Amino acid sequence: MVQAIFLCLLLLSISLQSSSAQAKNCSSESFSGNRRYSSCNSLPYLGASLHWTYHASDGTVDVAYRAPQSSSGWVAWAINPSGAGMIGANAFLAFPDSATGAVTVWTTQLSTYSPTVQNQNLSFSVYTKAAEYSNGLYTIYATLEVPSNNTKVNVVWQASTQFENGVPNGHSTLGDNVNSQSSLDLLSGHAAPAADNSKQHRKNVRNLL
């Protein structure tokens, strides 16, 4: 009995230390141009983090999305205004330009599980966007309109090294790459599993394969 209690306390301690380390990792990050954000969340998959400042006066948000990746790969972060998961997501993608090698950022709307990625307008206004690569990390910066000024947003993020004709194309459909979605409250910073993170979603992905 004593051993069981000790084991439970040990596991709780490890869990709290892990949560503390994650929070510290998120809050200790710094950004170029002396950019600062009021909130951050260490996302649970792909080593990514999201920083933001929400402006209630005009319903906009300044965002910095950061994720590890090789310099020859790509990362993406998205808001899905119509539901959870990939379908309907409005995405920002950072990747090296095939001609110059410089980091570029595209915006695209995802309507299928096998989209043809194009640089296009999103369903909400994007006022600024930029991206950079440093020390093994991509960072996407953006100022955008919060869809319908709903501060509870469904977010999706992704990473891959797959390209077609110099454009991001495809990613793993296993593990973290499938689970990388969440529901985020821009006011409280609270994150929860997205509704689409389900057996049905996994079945849809398997059917596509």
pLDDT at 148 over 70: yes
In eight-state DSSP terms, residue 146 is: P
Tell me how far the alpha carbon of residue 43 is from its chain's centroid: 7
How far apart are alpha carbons 158 and 48 in whole angstroms? 9
Q: What is the mean pLDDT of residues 105-117?
A: 90
Enumerate domains of the chain plus CATH numbers.
Answer: 37-208 (2.60.40)
pTM of the model: 0.81
Least confidently predicted of 11-20, 134-143, 145-154, 168-177: 11-20
